[in-house]
Chains A and B, each alone.
Chain A
Amino acid sequence: MRSHIATLAASAALGLALTGAAVADPVEDSLTVITEDGELEIVTRTAAPDHLKDVLPTIYSGWHYREDETRALQRDDFDNPGMVFADRGHDNWNAEIGTGGESCASCHGGPESMKGLRAVTPRVDAKTGKLMIIEDYVNACVTERMGLEAWGVTGDKMKDMLALISLQSRGETVNVAIDGPAAPFWEKGKEMYYTRYGQLEMSCANCHEDNTGQMIRADHLSQGQISGMPVYRLKDAGVVSAQQRFVGCVRDTRAETFKAGSDEFKALELYVASRGNGLSVEGLGVRH
C-alpha cells in the first residue's frame, strides 16, 4: 500500500513533467526544397492574416508538426513520394483523351500555364458567380470541352492532376480573396469551422485552434492548414486532397459528413485556405 502511494506520488510528479514536454509546439525549422530548377524557399510559418490574428498570432504549415524523417522527405523532390503522382498527372495532361482528340496540352500548352492558380483558389468565378475549387475547373474542361464523364472529385485521376497543377504554384504566397463576391461563401465556411458536428460535438476549431500543438493520443494536432495540399500521406501511401481530408475529419466526429466537392465543403475550403493566407503553396506536402 505504502509503496503504491509512493509510486503514484512519484509518477504524478513525472506526469507533470511529461505533460509539459508533450505539449509539443511546432518544431523550429525552415524549409528549402531542392527542385530540378534549383533551391526554392517555402514559407511554412508567418504572421497570421488580419482576420485570424486575434485567435492565432502565428500560422504554421502542418509540416512543422511532423517528425524529422517525414519533414526531410519534403526537402528534396527526389525523395518526395508525391512527385510520382504529379508525373502521372503530367502524362494525363498530354494524353489526347477528349472525344475530339483533345488533351489539356492542346488547349493550355504546358502545365506551367497553371502557375498561380493554386494560390488564389477557391475563388468565385467571375462569369458564373460560383465558388470554384481546382477540381471544378478540371471537371469543367473534362465535361464541357472534352466531352467526357466528370472525374470523381477524390479519384486518382483528379488527385494526380491536382498535384500537377498545385506544383506549378509552389513557393507562391497563398492569397485567396475573402471579400467582395467571396464574402458570403467565406462567412458560410467560417460558420462551419466553428460548428460542433456529430455525436462527439467537435468543431474544426476545437482540434486545430483550441488544441493545436496538443497530442490527441499519438496524433500531434496541427493548425489544419491546407497550404501543403494535396499532400502525400505516408499512412495512405497516396495523395490526399483538402476535400478528402475534410471528409475524414468530419467523419471522425461521428458525424454525417458532407460530400467531397459539395457546396458546403467548397465554402469550408475557402475559409480554411484563408487561414493560411501568407504561407507558401507547398505543391506537394509530405505528412504521415
Chain B
Amino acid sequence: MTRKIALAAVASLAATWALAAEVAPTEVMFEGGAVAASLTGVPGDPEAGAKVMTTASLGNCVACHLIEAMPAVQFPGTIAPALDGAADRWTEAELRGLLVNAKMTFDATFMPAFYKTEGFIRPGDGYTGKAPESDLPPILSAQQIENIVAYLLTLRD
C-alpha cells in the first residue's frame, strides 16, 4: 500500500519534470496580447514552422492568409491580411501571442486560438465530429508554435 503510493508520487513527479520545460496551454502568461517567454525554451525551426502553416490538418494558416513569400501554395485564402512583413508590424512576443490566442489581440477575431484547451462550446475530437475522450490537446504543440514564430520573424518587407 505505502509502496504503491510512493511509486505513484514518483511517477507524477517525473511527469511534472517532463513538462516543466514546456509552458502548458493553461499557464501561458499574457501581457496584453503578447507572450514574452518561449513556450519551450528551444529555438524555433522556421522551415518546420512553414510546413505546419501550410498543412491543412495542422496550422492551415493559408486557408485564410495569403503569404507572398510562399508562392508554391495554391489557392491561399482571402479572409485575413497577407502575412508578408509580419515581423515589421509585430514583435516576437506579439506574434507568439497571436498564435497562442489571437482573441487576446483582436477581440472576437475569426482566427482560431492554436494553443488553448479550455472554454470551448462543444469541442470535438479533431475533425471526427465526436466528443473528445480525454483532455483536449491544443491544435498545435508548443514547439510547433515556436517554429511558426521563427518563420514569421523571417517575413520582413
Contact = CB atoms under 8 A, between A and B. Distances in A.
Interface residues of A, number: 36
Interface of chain A, helix or strand or loop or mixed?
Answer: mixed
B44 interface: no
Nearest to B68: A11
B24 interface: no
Contacts of A214: 77-79
B17 interface: no
Given A15-B66, A195-B121, 18 more contacts: A8-B68, A8-B157, A9-B157, A18-B66, A198-B124, A199-B120, A199-B139, A201-B121, A202-B110, A214-B77, A214-B78, A215-B79, A216-B64, A216-B77, A217-B60, A255-B129, A256-B122, A257-B129
Given A198-B124, A255-B124, A256-B124, A215 B129 contact: no
A217 B62 contact: yes
B134 to A, nearest CB: 14
Contact of B126 (A9, A211, A254): A254
Contact of B75 (A195, A197, A211, A218): A218
The dominant DSSP class at the B interface is loop
Contacts, number: 103
Interface string A188-217: 000000011111111000100011001111
B4 to A, nearest CB: 36
A23 interface: yes
B113 A256 contact: no
Interface size class of B (residues with CB under 8 A): 35 or more
28 contacts: A8-B69, A8-B84, A11-B68, A11-B71, A11-B84, A15-B68, A15-B84, A18-B66, A19-B66, A198-B121, A201-B120, A201-B121, A215-B76, A215-B78, A215-B79, A217-B56, A217-B76, A218-B74, A247-B129, A251-B127, A251-B128, A254-B123, A255-B122, A255-B123, A256-B122, A256-B123, A256-B125, A257-B129
B144 to A, nearest CB: 15
Interface in A228-287: 247, 250-257
B3 interface: no
A4 B46 CA distance: 18
A22 interface: yes
